[in-house]
Amino acid sequence: MKLAFVLFKYFPYGGLQRDMVRMAAACQLLGYEIHVYTLSWQGEIPEGFHVHLLPARGLRNYVRYRDFIRLLQQALARHPVAAVVGFNRISGLDIYYAADPCFRQEHVENKPYYVRFLARYRFFMRQEEAVFGTVSKTLVLMISGLQLPYFKKYYGISDARIRMLPPGISKDRMAPANKAEIRAGFRREFGLSDDNILLLSVGSGFDMKGFDRGLIAVAALPEELRARVRVFVVGQDKPGPVKRLIQRLGIADIVTLFPGRDDIPRFLQGADFLLHPARHENAGMIIIEAIVAGLPVLTTATCGYACHVEEAAAGRVVASPFRQSALDDTLHEMLTSGMRDEWSSNGIRYGQTRDLYSLHEKAANIIHEYVLADQHTSPA
pLDDT tens, position by position, 3-20: 999 999 999 988 899 999
Q: What's the pLDDT tens digit per position in 234-258?
A: 998 888 999 999 999 999 999 999 9
Q: What's the pLDDT tens digit per position in 81-137?
A: 999 999 999 999 999 999 999 999 999 998 998 998 999 999 999 999 999 999 999
pLDDT score for 380: 43
**Rounded (5°) CA angle 187-190-195:** 50
pLDDT of 376 over the 80 cut = no
pLDDT of 377 over the 70 cut = no
Residues of the chain with CATH 3.40.50.2000: 2-166+358-377, 171-353
Query: How far is residue 191's CA from residue 10's CA, in Å, rounded to a whole number?
Result: 34
pLDDT score for 110: 87
pLDDT of 79 over the 50 cut = yes
Please state which CATH number belongs to domain 171-353.
Answer: 3.40.50.2000
Q: What's the pLDDT tens digit per position in 159-205?
A: 999 999 999 999 999 999 999 999 999 999 999 999 999 999 999 88
CATH 3.40.50.2000 fits 2-166+358-377, yes or no: yes
Q: Among residues 271, 303, 277, which one has the least CA distance to residue 290?
A: 271
pLDDT score for 378: 57
Ranges of beta strands (E only) in the chain are 2-6, 9-10, 33-38, 40-41, 50-53, 83-86, 95-98, 139-142, 162-164, 197-202, 229-234, 255-258, 273-276, 297-300, 315-318
Q: Are 294 and 275 in contact (CB under 8 A)?
A: no
Q: What's the pLDDT tens digit per position in 316-375?
A: 999 999 999 999 999 999 999 999 999 999 999 999 999 999 999 999 999 999 999 987
